[in-house]
Structure 1
Amino acid sequence: MTNKPQLPAPATLPATGKSRFSQFKKFIPVSREKFRQLSKEGRAPQPERMGIRCTFYDNAELHRWLADPINYRIEQ
């Protein structure tokens, strides 16, 4: 077996695109479960399901939430 070289994690969250929770968890001040609860209440970005076990979040919405997490609300 050959070992694949691991790419270094980015130091910042990209402004566009999609990210999984594991890719942005170091940038947020809450746990996975609290983030899930906030998403369910509409106070954090909504997940986008790409399959049964594949969930992504929009980076632009994550940046909007990170700029003001207390006053963030989902735009309907």
Structure 2
Amino acid sequence: MAHSTAELSKTLPVDGMSRWNQIAPFSPFSREKFRQLVIAGKAPPAHRLSERCTAYQNRELHRFFADPVNYTAETK
């Protein structure tokens, strides 16, 4: 069964990485609040792919959205 692009955009993939515009529809936070949570270690860390491209690991985003209050970023 083929899925339209609109149908596929309704879910966040489990694997891979996503940029803010791809995760914004799933986030109860503004971009700035999410950035503050990342800095505090209470949201998944951002990965700089280039000077103007930042992305987040989808697996960590799923973990965060499942329980945002108790989420803590894993330290390396």
TM band (smaller chain): 0.7 to 0.9
Task: Report the TM-score when normalising by structure 2.
Answer: 0.87
Q: How does 1:1-76 map to 2 (within 5 A)?
A: 7-8=5-6, 10-76=9-75
Distance 2:24 2:10 in 1: 12
Give the secondary structure class of the aligned counterpart of 2:56. strand
Residue 48 of structure 1 and its aligned partner are, at CA, apart by: 0.2
Cα distance in 1, alignment partners of residues 73 and 9 from structure 2: 27
CA distance in 1, matches of 2:23, 2:41: 19
- Deviation of 1:10 after TM superposition, in Å, equals 1.0
- The amino acid that maps onto 1:55 is T
Identity %: 51
**Structure 1 consecutive aligned stretches of length 4 or more whose deviation exceeds 6 Å:** none
Structure 2 residues not aligned, in runs of 5+: none
Q: 1:42 is matched by which residue type in structure 2? A: G
Larger radius of gyration, structure 1 or 2? 1
